[in-house]
Structure 1
């Protein structure tokens, strides 16, 4: 499989994970333990801008409490992904537990360990994935750590926290909004 095919497959998987997030509902602030005011956050749901037959959605609720400002690895929350494609036939969803959040201005990188998955993403359970979002308001930009390997299942077992790709992809206009609350 060539790099372009791997990238397309990776995007498809990411989209599937996103759809999972939107289909399963989004986490709320009351779902995670809080120790006070937030220092930073990445929240929201959006679909990736894909051609017909390629449906990818992501939901993120990642937060870092003010008390943990100096420890991005103390972030908490969830990432949900759903990605389904007609050609090639592919589909799956995944849910992951946030373990790191870094923000700067309107850009955030979050990592999370997959705790549940189905379909084509079953092999991702236990893997750490990374997402990068550039909050642009109307059409956000999005990147993911598995862009060069195909799908999250193919990520290395020793993937470090808060590692992802530049936000090279776009979300579908009007599909939702990913919001970055930068550290102050």
Structure 2
């Protein structure tokens, strides 16, 4: 689904998203518990929209399970995460570069794959109104067996019909993202998988 907002949305996508944060420290004398992590920076191409734009996504996300208490889940969730995503989009036709930064709030991994979400904290014009918006991402780490890929929750996905029957962009829930549809053309992503952990003892 391509909407009239695609161009602006694609520009926003170019903003590099960087996730910063660290897992809870281990008890003295014990090694730190393994955590899920997504790192790397790469340029991607859009198979359905060939152009000369340069879209770079940068991830540095880490799982911080049971670290974000919320109503109904006072101990937090197994998918809690921290970090920042940075997007940089060079719009060739306009001769401008648009950037964004977002704070990671959720991360789920499988072997070689990850889905994460992040809430925009900073955005250049023309997407300054994206501040506060949750975005979804997916990452596929091919290692040495092919091409890395990633996906993002705007442009051609995440649509719904409103009460008037028009197609509009839907909201993004935590850890919700599309499949990694965009191949990496330069750069590299690394996914470190960790199964979701049970609640801490005593919760």
Query: Is TM-score (shorter-chain normalized) higher than 0.5?
Result: yes
Question: Which digits, 9 at most, give the CA deviation of each residue in 1:71-125, with x for residues without a partner?
Answer: 3442011100011212266641100000000001111011000000112221211
Moved more, 44-53 or 113-122: 44-53
Choose 1 or 2 for highest CA Rg: 2
Instruction: Specify which of 142, 151, 160 is matched with residue 143 of structure 1.
Output: 151
Structure with the largest fraction of helix: 1
User: Which residue of structure 2 lines up, in the alignment, with residue 108 of structure 1?
Assistant: 114
SS at match of 1:176: strand
Provide the rounded CA distance (Å) in 2 between the counterparts of 1:63 and 1:140. 19
Q: TM-score, normalised by structure 1?
A: 0.75
- Cα distance, 1:114–1:32 mapped onto 2, change above 3 Å: same
2:126 alignment partner, SS class:
helix
Conserved? CA contact 2:8–2:127, under 8 Å: no
**Which runs of structure 2 are paired with 1:1-184 in the superposition (5 Å)?**
3=2, 10-14=9-13, 16-18=14-16, 21=17, 32-36=21-25, 37-49=33-45, 53-65=52-64, 71-87=77-93, 91-137=97-143, 139-148=147-156, 155-156=169-170, 158-172=171-185, 175-184=186-195
| TM-score in terms of structure 2 length | 0.69
Question: Which structure 1 segments of 5+ residues have no match?
Answer: none
Secondary structure of 2:175's counterpart equals coil
For structure 2, which runs of at least 5 residues remain unmatched after alignment? 26-32, 68-75, 159-167, 196-203
Measured in 2, the distance between the counterparts of 1:110 and 1:72 equals 13
Tell me if the contact between 1:13 and 1:56 (Cα under 8 Å) persists in the aligned partners. no
* Preserved CA contact (<8 Å) 2:22 2:64: no
The CA RMSD measured in Å over matched residues stands at 3.0
